[in-house]
Amino acid sequence: MFQYGREVQIPGTARSLEFLLVSYHVYASSTVGGNTRKYHGLFVRDGRLLLAGLDERVNGIQLSSQQYQGVANDGGLRYLAAFSAYPPSWVYWIDGIIVKKTITFDGSLSVTYDITGDADLWIRPLITDRPVHGVMRDPAPGCTNEPDGFRWGEIFFHGDLPYEASPVTYRNLWYQREYERGYEPVEDLYSPGVFQGQVRNSAVLFRCTGAALDPPDPPRARSPQAIPGWLDRAADAFCQGDEIYAGYHWFCESWGRDSAISVTGLLIERGMRDEARAVLRRLSALNRDGVIPNRFPDNYHTSDASLWFIQALVRYRRRWGDDPFMEKMKPVMENILAKYPSSPVARLDHDLISVVPGSTWMDTPFTPRAGKPVEVNALWVHALAEAEAMGIPVPVSSESARRTFGRFWNKERECLYDVIDPVDSSVRPNQVIAIALGLVSPEQAATALGTISRALLTPYGLRTLSQSDPDYKGQYTGDSSYHNGCVWPWLTGYYAEALLRNGVPRERAAQILVPILLHGREAGIGYISEIFDGDPPFHPNGCIAQAWSVAEIARAYRMLSGHA
C-alpha cells in the first residue's frame, strides 16, 4: 500500500504521481491530479484510448483537476485529503462531506464513490477513439443511449445513478508531459451524457464493461514470495500470456531483447515455470538463422537478443534442470551458436563477436558501438561455456574465446574497454555484465568495480557514460542523452551480482537498492521507471514502468537478501 497525505494537494506533486492498472491487453492509468499524457485513460485497449477520464462534481463542486490549455484548473485538489494505491483511492473532504473514490480494474472498470453525508453526485464520462500515440480534435463516437447508460460498440457505460443523454464536447484538454516531451499536448474529448443523483451515506458505482478478450489461463502457483509485494504485483503487469510487454505506456508490446532479459526476474525466479516456458518457446519459434528478433514480428537488427535468449535458457536450466522442455531447447541453442556468428548482424572474428552498428541494447545513432562490444562478447563466451557443459557443439572453444576476451582490459583507465576493434575507451556500465559472469580476474574485477563506482554509480543505478566524458549529458534530452549519461536501473542486477562475486558483503551491497526501492512511491506508483537523469536530483524519465527495470531490481533484491 502506498499512502499520501496533504502533499497531493500540491498540483505538481499530484500530477507527478501516476498509477497503472493492467489486465491482459487493457490498462487504466492516470495521475492523482488528472491526465498529463496522451497515453493516460481509464480504459485503454490494444493501444487505443477509449475512456479518457471522468468529470465529477459533488454538490456542484468539481472533483476533477484535469488541465486545459491556458486555464489553471486545480479543481478538487484543494479538497483532496489523501490518496492511496493499490487500488487507487482518493479521499475528498467537501463542506462536511467525505467522498472516497476507488478504482478497480480487471479488464472492466469500476469506480466506487463511497459518500459520508448527503451529496448530489454528477459524473460525465469523457471518451474518444484514437491510437495512444496521437491526439484527436472533435471526436464523434457513435453512441447508443439506454435508460441506465450508453453503449459504444461493444462497451457499455452504466452505473447506479440515473443517466441523462446530454452530448457535449470538452475542448482543449492539456497534457503537460506531452508538451515537455515536444509532442502535441492539446485535444478534445466527447461526452454523450451524465450520470447524476442524490447519495446519502452510501456507495454508488460507475462501470465500463465489455469488449475485453478472454485473458490467458490464470497464473499457476509460484514459489513463496521473496521480493516486496509491490514488486511482485508490478511483475505481473508485464506478463501477457506468452509475451512480456517491454514497458508502459509506449512500449506495450513484446520485444525480443527485453523479453529475454526480463524473463528471469519476472517469471523464472518467481517459480512460474509454465509461463517462462511459453515466453521462451515463443522466442525460439521466431529464431531465424540464429537471430532472435528485436521488435516483433520481423525486425532482426539485434546482435545481442540471441545471446540474451541463451542466457535466459541457462537461468531456466539452473532452476529446473534438464527437463523435457530444456531438452527441446538444446537444438535451438545449437542452431544459434552455429548460425549467429555468420548472420547479418554478427560475425566471428578471432574467437570473438563483431557486430554491426546500432544493434546492441544501446541502439541510438549516438551510440553505434560497431566492433566488439564488451557485454556481447561476455555473453558469447558464457554461452560457449554453458553449451560445452551441455554437450552442445560450439564453433570455437570457450577457453580460447575467454583468453582472447582478455584484450578488453584497459590498463590506463583500470576497467574494461566498452568496445574493441576499433577501441572505444569510454567508461560505460556494460562491463559489469562481464564481471558478473566471472570473465575477469579477481584483481582486475576489484579495480574495475572501483572505477565503475566512482564514475558511474548513482542512487538509482549506473550511468551509461562517465561524467568526465565530453559526450556526457546529465539530463534526458532525447536520443542524444539516452545512452550517454542517463541511468538505466536494469543494469543494477548485474552490478549487484558483480559485487557479490567479488567479495562485497551482502548486507553492504544491499545499500545500493534503498533509493530505487523507495522510488516505488514516485513517478509510476508501484513500478520502476525506464531511466533516470545522470545528474542530481536524478529525475525519473522514460516509461513509468519498464519490464527489465522491475525484473532486474527484483533479481538484485533476491541476491542481496539471500533468497537467490
Q: What is the 3-state secondary structure (H, E, C) of 253-270?
A: EEEHHHHHHHHHHHHHCC
Q: What is the pLDDT of residue 226?
A: 81
State which H helix or E strand residue 435 sits in. Answer: helix 431-436
How confident is the model over 375-401, as a mean pLDDT? 98
Higher per-residue confidence, 218 vs 252: 252
Higher per-residue confidence, 334 vs 298: 334
Q: What is the CATH number of domain 2-209?
A: 2.70.98
Q: Which three cell numbers stand for residue 423?
A: 577501441
Q: What percent of the chain is modeled with pLDDT above 90? A: 92
CB-count burial class (<10 Å; 0-12, 13-18, 19+) for 371: buried
Question: Which residue type does 129 have?
Answer: D
pLDDT exceeds cutoff 60 at 266: yes
Q: What is the pLDDT of residue 539?
A: 97
Question: If pLDDT is split at 50, 70 and 90, which confidence band does 221 have?
Answer: very low
Q: What is the pLDDT of residue 224?
A: 52
Instruction: Render pLDDT for 78-90 as a digit per residue (tens, 0 to 9).
Output: 999 999 999 999 9
User: How far is Cα 34 from Cα 66, in angstroms, rounded to an integer?
Assistant: 5
Instruction: Render pLDDT for 183-199 as a digit per residue (tens, 0 to 9).
Output: 999 999 999 999 999 99
Q: What is the pLDDT of residue 331?
A: 97
Q: What percent of the chain is modeled with pLDDT above 70? A: 97
φ, ψ at 549 (rounded to 5°) = -65, -50
Contact, 96 vs 117, CB < 8 A?
Answer: yes
Please write down the HEC assignment for all residues of 463-509.
Answer: ECCCCCCCCCCCCCCCHHHHCCCCEEHHHHHHHHHHHHHCCCCHHHH
Nearest to 374 by CA among 391, 393, 387, 355: 355
User: How far is Cα 422 from Cα 341, in angstroms, rounded to an integer?
Assistant: 19
Domain ranges of the chain: 2-209, 230-561
In this chain, the answer to whether the domains covering 2-209 and 230-561 adopt an identical fold is: no
Helix orientation angle between 305-320 and 256-263, rounded to the nearest 10 degrees: 20
**HSE, side-chain direction, 13 A CA sphere, residue 444:** 20
Q: What is the pLDDT of residue 404?
A: 98
Q: What is the pLDDT of residue 444?
A: 98
How confident is the model over 478-483, as a mean pLDDT? 96
Instruction: Render pLDDT for 490-500 as a digit per residue (tens, 0 to 9).
Output: 999 999 999 99
What number of H helices and E strands is found in the chain?
A: 16, 30
Contact, 490 vs 555, CB < 8 A?
Answer: no
Q: What is the pLDDT of residue 413?
A: 97
Q: What is the CATH number of domain 230-561?
A: 1.50.10.10
Question: If pLDDT is split at 50, 70 and 90, which confidence band does 316 have?
Answer: very high
192's torsion region: left (phi>0), alpha (psi -120 to 50) or beta?
A: alpha
Instruction: Render pLDDT for 1-56 as a digit per residue (tens, 0 to 9).
Output: 899 999 999 999 999 999 999 998 899 999 999 999 999 999 999 999 999 999 99
Question: If pLDDT is split at 50, 70 and 90, which confidence band does 211 have?
Answer: low
User: How far is Cα 511 from Cα 505, in angstroms, rounded to an integer?
Assistant: 11
Q: Is the dihedral of CA 378, 501, 389, 405 positive or negative?
A: positive
State which H helix or E strand residue 404 sits in. Answer: helix 398-405
Instruction: Render pLDDT for 486-539 as a digit per residue (tens, 0 to 9).
Output: 999 999 999 999 999 999 999 999 999 999 999 999 999 999 999 999 999 999
How confident is the model over 116-125, as a mean pLDDT? 97
Question: If pLDDT is split at 50, 70 and 90, which confidence band does 72 have?
Answer: confident
Nearest to 362 by CA among 257, 455, 279: 257
∠ Cα 452 454 457 (to 5°): 65
Question: If pLDDT is split at 50, 70 and 90, which confidence band does 93 have?
Answer: very high
Long-range (24+ apart) CB contacts under 8 A made by 500-508 are 500/559, 500/560, 501/435, 501/436, 501/438, 501/445, 502/435, 502/442, 502/445, 502/446, 502/449, 503/442, 503/446, 506/559, 506/560, 506/561, 506/562
How confident is the model over 237-261, as a mean pLDDT? 95
User: How far is Cα 364 from Cα 358, in angstroms, rounded to an integer?
Assistant: 6
How confident is the model over 212-226, as a mean pLDDT? 53
pLDDT exceeds cutoff 90 at 396: yes
∠ Cα 283 249 275 (to 5°): 30
Instruction: Render pLDDT for 361-374 as a digit per residue (tens, 0 to 9).
Output: 999 999 999 999 99
Q: Which three cell numbers stand for residue 199?
A: 447519495
Q: What is the pLDDT of residue 215?
A: 52
Question: If pLDDT is split at 50, 70 and 90, which confidence band does 426 have?
Answer: very high
**What does pLDDT average to over the chain?**
95
Q: Where do the H-state alpha helices sit in 239-357?
A: 256-263, 273-285, 305-320, 324-339
